[in-house]
Structure 1
Amino acid sequence: MQLRYLFTFLLMTLILNVKAQSAQKDVLFFVDDSPVYTSEFLRVYNKNLDLVQDESQKDIDEYLTLFTNYKLKLKEARALGLDERPSYKRELSNYRKQLIKSFMTDAEVTDAMVAEAYERISYDVKATHILVKVAENASPEDTLGAYNNIVKLRNRALKEGFEKVRKEVHNGQTIFGEELGYFSGFSMVYKFETAAFNTKVGEMSKPFRTRFGYHIVNVLDKRKSRGERTVSHIMVVEKKGDSLAEKPEVRIQDIYKKINQGESFDVLAKQFSDDRGSASKGGVLPAFSSGKLGSQEFEDVAFGLNDVEAVSKPFKTKYGWHIVKLIAKKPIPSFEAIRPELEQKVKRDDRSKLIDEALYKSLKEKYHVANNQAALDYFESILTDDFFKRTWKLPNNFKEDIPLFKIGKKQFFYKDFSNYLLKEQRRGTQKTSLKSVVLKKYNNFLNSNLVKYQEDNLETENEEFAHIVNEYRDGLLLFDLMETTIWNAAKTDSIGVEDFYKTHKNKYVLPQRIDAVVASSSKQKILKKVTKLFKRGMEVDQIKALVNNNDKIEVMFTSGIMDAKHQALPKSFQFKKGISKIHNHNGTFVVVQVNDILEKTQQTLEEAKGTVMSDYQVFKEEKWLKDLSNKYKIKINQEALNSIKNKIKK
């Protein structure tokens, strides 16, 4: 018997030892006594791998440094009690409530909403509307007044014409009469979108309410969606304050002529487009659909191009002058292809309210919770008009311990609902029947607790949800820490900023620049002629007249103050007064006349303040991290680290 017990003891000891060793191997490093597991590191590393721009950060050791710094900061944030701040807890709670909607939805209702959304993004509606503004929580009198006003305006519009009334009543404050152009699904709030899509072309909707007030919408047209367009463009804007700069309408016409002469659109965009964001990419813009850009004129031209590689004539928008080239056309994807994206949009949209109602219904069924009519009748009998005055109190004989309903393992009593009513009356309630007040408050109380019960249990049931919440929790905590410790401190530390500037003054210097004229042409022979004319001392306008004519643009000129990174200058261009040799640059030829060289200039603290402040924050953070690494010891499990490296290599 004793031998058997000894064998059992040895076996249990062995099992516990193996488990302890396994757990130890799962720990990648300790921050003091707090373990960080390999599973978390690998999950975060793999998740962020495609987002990392700096190749060095894909190296495990480099990424581990970033990760340990991240954990050091979180350790400090908790040591400072930032996770106990009410504002932090409130922000996290709000986020969880929003996120949870993605995990707690009624599938049938969601599917119907997604199908409807696909139908709506498949069409564009053109409409105008009239809005009478009224707040969501407006008094019954103000709400009724706004409703009566919109009804009167609709009656007028039926008699006098919508456009006439719209233009007359618009004041931009209480009444808005606006042209909306074409829009598709998800472009407007859901109630407005529904009214517009359910109104026939040429007709006017009945009055409806959104959170902005009461509307009537007039539908002018409905068409199949034009899908997406990918275009490249060349944009020329007016150079205010630059007397030497050419007028944008003249310059854009010169560029257009060069395109018609067969010169590369991409090369011309790199050379001459004032849209710096797209110029380096040959003018290519991200794909867009109707109503997604801030310019109807630009969209109309882009969607008016039917053939890939087709180029528009120059046209003007509020941003400047443009030439557009069609790169690709993409129709609306199939329903199955776009379904996951639509589902996410539906859950973030006003449509989610309908999904919420379905969720409440399903949770009631799941937990077998029904309206407690006896409780409703009882609370209606004890509620008085004092509730609307915020002075209502419970009667002395209040039955607080009677069961109200049960959700899962949690029992609620009359006292729980009474406490809720007492808190609610402080918010103020518009006077209505006591029966409707009790029913509304009871449903709100029940629904919020149904959701809360699911929230409280979801992290143990759904690993993905737990990871997302944890990442947000840490990210929010880190933001609060950085704001408190680094960002705000740097903003208020004027002496520290000034000392930092003095110590690093050589960093804040304007680079050497030139006052120059750059001539660009696809033909080297023409630039040899321009070089000779430069040497004769001829003005740019005179040279242009000699080498270009109204029908053919052979040379483009760019004048002004330029640094070495200017798009018109060849790479590694040597700053030297006079006329340069002919360079091959961005697929074309350029020659540069350097009129003057502007030497490096020391910036004052005021001139460089934005950059100095940013650098000072980095400086403070690096010093702070060194202090943290001394305060909290990092102990790396080398065996676990080697295992990670081997996994990633495979």
Structure 2
Amino acid sequence: MKLKSVLMLLFLTISVVSTAQIASDDVLFSVDETPVYASEFLRVYNKNLDLVKDESQKDVDAYLQLFINYKLKLAEAKSLKLNEKPAYKKELLSYRNQLAQNYLIDNAVTEELVEEAYTRLNIDIKARHILVKLDPNASPKDTLAAYMGIVKLRNRLIAEGFDTVKKDVHDGKEIFAEDLGYFSAFKMVYSFENAAYKTEVGDVSQPFRSRFGYHVVQVLDKRPSRGTVKVAHIMIANNAKGDTISDPEVRINEIYKKLIQGESFESLAKQFSDDNNSAGKGGELAPFSMGQLSSSEFETASFNLVIVDQYSEPFKTDFGWHIVKLLERKPVPDFGDIKEELEDKVKQDTRSERIDESRIQKLKKAYKIAEEQPAIPYFVKILNKTYYTNTWELPSKFKGDTELFTLGEKVYTYNDFGAYMIKRQTLFSDKIPFDKIVDLNYNTFLETELKSYQEANLENENSEFADIVGEYRDGLLLFELMETEIWNAGNTDTIAVQKYYQAHRDNYSWNKRVDAVVASSVDRKVIRKTARLLKKNVPLDDIKARFNVNDEIHVIFTSGILEENHQSLPKNFEFKKGVSSIYEFNDGYIVAKVNQVFPKTLKSFEEAKGSVINDFQTEKEDLWMQDLHAKYTVTISESVLTQVRNEINNQ
């Protein structure tokens, strides 16, 4: 064979060995009959690699021993049935359910909605709208009538103008024509907000539906957001019906003159404001943005103030007469500063329906749920008027065993949906037709079951979620075990701990110590002068007053009982009474006045108790681990371990 061919064959052989992949079912070792997979070991090793400070734990074989010990402890915990304790199960379930919420929502859609909301927070829209009210469960006939009505009103709005149409049709009951002033994100239901932001200035939107009915919106202006303001106000309320004695306008102008004369705004608000909620606080209101209050006049007057402590002239609203004073003004915060707050708002706002819709569509696709459901016509056919009186029952020849849909291995039948239909009879009035009742019930039933199935099977569908839950489950179980077997013994078995102390008391001693005052400075001259003053027994406060002047610190003192190797003392420090020599130390200088020297002495049990308990627990755990290694059989696959070493070394 030619040399070139031999080298090529050798190269290929090495390549195959070095690139061999570890399969997900390769068993690295087993504890009795329970397998532990190499993939889990690699995942945990790589995840914790950067967190390990002890270099020995980065060694594969050393880490493997730690991992084996970890698995032995888990085996013992299950042997003791700690995983069956109600408190353990409750805490694990609570954590799992809380964590699951982060994996059940459509994060891509959420992120998109958060960014959209932030963009809209930076733009104020001034608009007005016309609404034809419509019940959410209205019949098709009423829905069509409302839609045709809003189409006609839109045409009139464009042709005749808003004021003319408002005067003719606004009744405040079935038809509304309203000026909305300025607003931004989260101030309107999402469908309304969408229409407003997608309509150009001067245009009228196409008809759209919200939970209130059908709208059209006319956009009058778009401008950069003015952020939020915090103001205080003085309000003189409008006269009550029949009151002709007082004149609110005269009174507010009298108060305004007092302000001009230099009297305190806060004091005048406390004395005269008719707003009982704010008067006691000097008229102070919570911060607000445009569109947040029910009075556009009040918002306009507040946002027209530009200088803190500036106040307005008296102005009128539907509530009475006001004077406002600017306390604080803030622009829209940076995206990163309010991202979490926006996420919470998005999930609570009507726009969250988009997140839910996206999730349901993905689940239908993942679980292969057909869009057409043959059960719907069947259930429409078997409904009758008794459904409206909560007395409807399934017919005698009901096809209950017919398959409705399947999720995984779980089959849902007509019986399941029929029972659901019976349970929801009280939710529908006789104005809602049978086909809509069945359609609404089916969609709600399907969505509920899709969500429940996904949540119940999340570990099987999302490996990251499964890993995190698994780590928490094992960590919680390990805590229960260690508390039961080791930690409680250290804290409660005082006799055993004291015996341990007596057997190892030479390990617990005070190093040589001094009762001293240590002066530190980067200036050698300051330290020399400090040393002379310490020799003269000048009080520390007087020394500080001499050197630490004009807000400049030139000398710092550390005092107390200082042990050998204390951070304030150099390693070559001489332990003797009196003022020490000057030492160069940590890029500066120190001098110490030693009042007393304490020789190395044994610690009493009380003095050493914390260290004794810790060492006692460590020894107890070591002996316990020896027992676990004897109790359980650990079998390591050397071939898989070699693959693991190769993969780690090639990273």
Q: Which amino acid aligns with 2:454?
A: Q
2:278·2:285 contact (CA, 8 Å) conserved in 1?
no
Shift in CA distance, 349/570, structure 1 to aligned 2, threshold 3 Å: farther
1:534 maps to which residue? 534
Distance 1:551 1:108 in 2: 54
Cα distance in structure 1, aligned partners of 2:450 and 2:611: 51
1:482 equivalent in structure 2: 482
* Partner AA of 2:279 in structure 1: K
Shift of 1:577: 1.8
SS of residue matched to 1:468: helix
Match of 1:82 in 2: 82
* Alignment partner, residue 265 of structure 2: none
Q: Given the superposition, is the C-alpha separation of residues 344 and 634 from structure 1 closer, same or farther in structure 2, using an over 3 Å criterion?
A: farther
How far 1:647 moved relative to its partner? 3.0
- What is the match of residue 408 of structure 1? 407
Sort the Cα spacing of 1:642 and 1:85 in 2 relative to 1 into closer, same or farther, 3 A.
same
> 2: CA distance between counterparts of 1:87 and 1:23?
37
Which residue of structure 2 aligns with residue 335 of structure 1?
Answer: none
Please say if residues 521 and 588 of structure 1, whose CA atoms lie closer than 8 Å, have aligned partners that are also in contact: yes
Kept in 2, the 8 Å contact 1:360–1:447? The answer is no
Report Cα offsets for 1:457-498 as digits up to 9, x if no partner. Answer: 554444434433433333333233333333345444343334
Cα separation, 2, equivalents of 1:401 and 1:608: 74
Residue 471 of structure 1 corresponds to 471
CA contact (8 A) 1:513 1:561 kept: yes
Task: Verify: 1:362 aligned to 2:470, yes or no.
Answer: no
Match of 2:44 in 1: 44
Gaps of 5+ in 1: 1-21, 130-156, 169-176, 183-191, 204-217, 229-288, 291-340, 386-391, 426-431
Aligned sequence identity (%)? 41
Q: Which residue of 2 aligns with 1:621?
A: 621
Counterpart in the other structure of 2:329:
221
TM-aligned CA distance change 1:580 to 1:29, over 3 Å:
same
Letter in structure 2 aligned against 1:408: L
Question: Aligned equivalents of 1:64 and 1:570: distance in 2?
Answer: 41
Greater CA radius of gyration, 1 or 2?
2
Alpha-carbon distance change, 550 to 109 in structure 1, aligned in 2, over 3 angstroms:
closer
The answer to whether the 8 Å contact 1:127/1:221 transfers is yes
Residues 550-582 of structure 1: CA deviation (Å, up to 9, x unaligned): 586543333333334654333564433222222
Equivalent residue, structure 2, for 1:8: none
CA contact (8 A) 2:518 2:568 kept: yes
**Alpha-carbon distance in structure 2 between the residues aligned to 1:551 and 1:46:** 50
The Cα shift of 1:447 comes to 4.1
1:58-207 → structure 2 map (5 Å cutoff): 58-106=58-106, 109-116=109-116, 159-160=274-275, 163-164=278-279, 202=302
TM-superposed deviation, 1:359: 5.2
Structure 1 residues 125 and 554, CA, compared in 2 at 3 Å: closer, same or farther? same
Distance in 1 (alpha carbons) for counterparts of 2:353 and 2:113: 9
1:591, CA displacement in angstroms? 0.9
Distance 1:397 1:631 in 2: 63
2:590 is aligned with 1:586 = no
Are the counterparts in 1 of residues 56 and 62 from structure 2 also a CA contact under 8 Å?
yes
Matched residue of 1:568: which SS?
A: coil
Instruction: Assess if the C-alpha contact under 8 Å between 2:88 and 2:477 holds in 1.
Output: yes
The residue aligned with 2:55 is 55
* Contact persistence 2:24–2:39 (CA under 8 A): no
TM-score of the superposition, structure 2-length normalised? 0.53
2:281 and 2:75 map into 1 onto residues whose CA distance is 59
- AA in 2 matched with 1:164: A
In structure 2, do the counterparts of structure 1 residues 418 and 51 end up closer, same or farther at CA, with 3 Å as the change threshold?
Answer: farther
Contact 1:384 1:434 in 2 (8 A): no
* SS of aligned partner of 2:568: coil
- 2:577–2:594 contact (8 Å) kept in structure 1: yes
CA distance in 1 between partners of 2:30 and 2:231 (Å): 62
Letter in 2 for 1:625: M
> Separation in 1 of the partners of 2:418 and 2:615?
56
- Residues 331-360 of structure 1, C-alpha deviation per residue, up to 9 Å, x if partnerless? xxxxxxxxxx97997699768975763355
SS at match of 1:569: coil
Matching residue of 2:519: 519
Contact 1:578 / 1:594 at 8 angstroms: preserved in 2? yes
Contact 2:514 2:598 in 1 (8 A): yes
Shift of 1:116: 4.9
Secondary structure, counterpart of 2:560 in structure 1 = strand
Cα distance change of structure 1 residues 586 and 167 upon mapping to structure 2, 3 Å threshold = farther
**CA contact under 8 A between 1:513 and 1:597: conserved in structure 2?**
yes
> How many residues of Structure 1 are paired with residues of Structure 2 in the alignment?
444
Q: Which aligned pairs between 1:498-517 and structure 2 lie closer than 5 A?
A: 498-507=498-507, 509=509, 511-517=511-517
Residue of structure 1 in register with 2:200 after alignment: none
What residue number does 2:166 align with? Answer: none
Is 2:632 the counterpart of 1:639? no
Question: How far, CA to CA, are the matches of 1:485 and 1:533 in structure 2?
Answer: 58
1:8-42 C-alpha deviation (Å, 9 max, x unpaired): xxxxxxxxxxxxxx989943222223332322212
Shift in Å, 1:517: 1.6
SS at match of 1:570: coil
Tell me the distance in 1 between the aligned counterparts of 2:49 and 2:645: 14
1:110-509 equivalent positions in 2, closer than 5 A: 110-116=110-116, 159-160=274-275, 163-164=278-279, 202=302, 220-223=328-331, 225=333, 357-358=356-357, 361-362=360-361, 365-366=364-365, 367-368=369-370, 401=400, 405-409=404-408, 410-413=410-413, 416=416, 434-435=427-428, 446-507=446-507, 509=509
Kindly indicate whether the alpha-carbon contact (under 8 Å) linking 1:508 and 1:603 is maintained by their aligned counterparts in 2.
yes
Kindly state the Cα deviation for residue 608 of structure 1 after the two structures are TM-superposed: 5.3
Any idea what the Cα deviations from partners look like across 1:59-110, whole Å, max 9, x if unmatched? 1122111111111112222333334445544544444444444444335631
Aligned-residue RMSD, C-alpha: 5.4
Q: Flag the 1:444–1:23 CA change in 2: closer, same or farther, 3 A.
A: closer
2-structure distance, mates of 1:473, 1:35: 18
Q: Note if 1:558 corresponds to 2:558.
A: yes
Partner deviation per Cα, 1:418-445 (whole Å, 9 max, x = no partner): 98999x99xxxxxx96549x99999876
- State the Cα distance separating 1:631 from its structure 2 match: 0.6
CA distance in 2, matches of 1:59, 1:167: 68
Does the residue aligned with 2:71 lie in a helix, a strand or coil? Answer: helix
Tell me the SS of whatever aligns to 2:56.
helix
Contact kept? 1:360, 1:450, Cα under 8 Å: no
Determine helix, strand or coil for the equivalent of 1:532.
helix
Q: Cα deviation per residue 1:131-184 (whole Å; 9 max; x = unaligned)? A: xxxxxxxxxxxxxxxxxxxxxxxxxx995276435689xxxxxxxx9989x9xx
Contact 2:104 2:455 in 1 (8 A): no
Q: Secondary structure at the match of 2:331?
A: strand
User: 1:518 and 1:178 mapped to 2: Cα distance?
Assistant: 54
Mapped partners of 1:380, 1:567: distance in 2: 88
**1:627 Cα offset (Å):** 0.9
Measured against aligned partners, the alpha-carbon deviations of 1:170-221 in whole angstroms (never above 9, x if no partner) come to xxxxxxx9989x9xxxxxxxxx9x979xx97958xxxxxxxxxxxxxx9953
Which residues in structure 2 correspond to 1:607-618 (within 5 Å)? 609-618=609-618
Maintained 8 Å contact 2:273/2:279:
no
CA gap 1:545/1:465 in 2 versus in 1, 3 angstroms = closer
Change (3 A) 1:73 1:435: farther
Partner of 2:31: 31
Q: 2 CA distance for matches of 1:489 and 1:355?
A: 55
Distance 1:382 1:471 in 2: 50
